[in-house]
Chains A and B, each alone.
Chain A
């Protein structure tokens, strides 16, 4: 058997992960709202935030295969941390964001120690239980969190000392977009690294991993912590750009929502969270006049439909239509 030319396997792997023109186009198009839809910049910033949150869930769900029904715990924790830091007098956005990131990361790491020990149903229930536990704790600690009224008195300073977070949303969207891009680049690098390969190994066949000498638990703890940091950053962005934090950020509702967004876009495809966020939030904005109950009715129908008919989400469906352009595991 003829062996490959030197470096060929390496070049093959390199080709798999190179930037595709469609991706560049996508990121350029994220600048369009500034020009085409300046009155929707607040919505755009919320889409970016939701996309970031969904991306963080994709790391653990789409790549490592961990089903979490309580991911909002880290989102809300980051949100409240950022909000409290500002409320207590330090309104500088970027450093507040970093503080929230670290806090969420610590919470993620601590919970990952427990979570990495379980699989299947027990894991799902523990993530659900943990999320509900944190939400209840936040509810009870109303002296800290403001309880059902939400956190009041969050006042942000100007971003980089120059840009005010106002109702026009320029600063908000620019801020959220930059953070999203940075997080995305990090996630992309992670997915394409040996660690990303190990995560996919865990998802593809958790049984085989110890048989090749892998410490799956350590891998899971690591990705879970990173995902918690990202979710916390998303939550902090929301707190800072909207200058408010509510219990809803920790709720099961929020955990279920981000799951819907990710599944809608397609898990395990890196862009699924962002695509899902765009579709979901735009649709919700269009229906915002309507009673919220009806919205959840249709989301329920959508979920049922996706499970029965479109298991790989929008991107998965597209992948089947355009195999050459989107060939990606």
Chain B
């Protein structure tokens, strides 16, 4: 069972009579790149929230490797290697990029509670943070406040923050959301350069990204998993076509 990096078993979640996750069972083997797709409202981000612990499921289990993490606090899951990015930039507006990533590095290293020595004296943490920024092609923007960065750069910083936590499983929630065509090249190469040891599950609407990077695709509709398969299988699947193209009807 330890070949699986991430697994859920029978996850259920409802808000009143609105079922947002129904019997969601999935498995992601170590080192794989899986994509999670589906129409708006299918419950993809909800699933990420359940997996990371921001939402408590009504039923079901979540497993990270061999550990059952269903009852763990979100921060604890991060410390064990399960890290996410947010669909809407959730950054620190007034911190510059270097400070932001250094903060994440310090949290991981356990030195964020130290208040007696100044930040610059933590050389290794700073250099590690800088290296991450370099790998995300953000080195030139390291010293600028986050809110001054271009939107595409902020999306990259989202990922940089996640990488600082040294994830074994990385959940990317629509990394390309809102990024204009001209700025997405850096994003693509950043995702390409992610370590092959890292397991990645990403939600995306951008089919270029999906077909380029995903080994397998999971399709979610209405809180349920509709089908799972290789990109070729999914592209040919009639049900997926119906969900995306409709049976001639338009969504409200």
Contacts and interface: CB of A to CB of B under 8 A. Distances in A.
A binds B: yes
B92 A204 contact: yes
A291 to B, nearest CB: 42
A3 B131 CA distance: 8
Interface string B82-102: 011010001111111011101
Contacts of B51: none
B164 to A, nearest CB: 7
B214 to A, nearest CB: 23
9 contacts: A1-B140, A10-B123, A14-B118, A194-B106, A200-B99, A210-B73, A211-B78, A213-B83, A214-B75
Interface of A: 1-4, 7, 9-14, 17, 189-190, 192-198, 200-201, 204-205, 207-216, 218-219, 222, 226, 329
A213 B116 CA distance: 21
B117 interface: yes
Contact of B119 (A196, A214, A329): A196
A190 B79 CA distance: 25
- Listed residue (A9, A11, A214) with the most chain B CB atoms within 10 angstroms of its CB: A9
Contacts of B111: 194
User: Which 7 A-B pairs have CB atoms at the shortest separation, nearest pair first?
Assistant: A195-B115, A213-B78, A204-B92, A14-B120, A210-B75, A212-B104, A9-B130
Contacts of A222: 113, 115
A200 B139 contact: no
A264 B174 CA distance: 42
B75 A197 contact: no
Contacts of A13: 98-99, 102, 119-120, 126
Contacts of B115: 189-190, 193-196, 222, 226
B198 to A, nearest CB: 16
Given A197-B102, A197-B119, A212 B126 contact: no
B107 interface: yes
Given A12-B98, A212-B164, 20 more contacts: A4-B142, A13-B120, A17-B120, A193-B118, A194-B102, A194-B111, A195-B113, A195-B114, A197-B99, A197-B106, A197-B119, A201-B103, A204-B95, A208-B86, A211-B90, A212-B104, A213-B104, A213-B165, A329-B94, A329-B95
- Most chain B C-beta atoms within 10 Å of own C-beta, residue among A17, A189, A197: A197
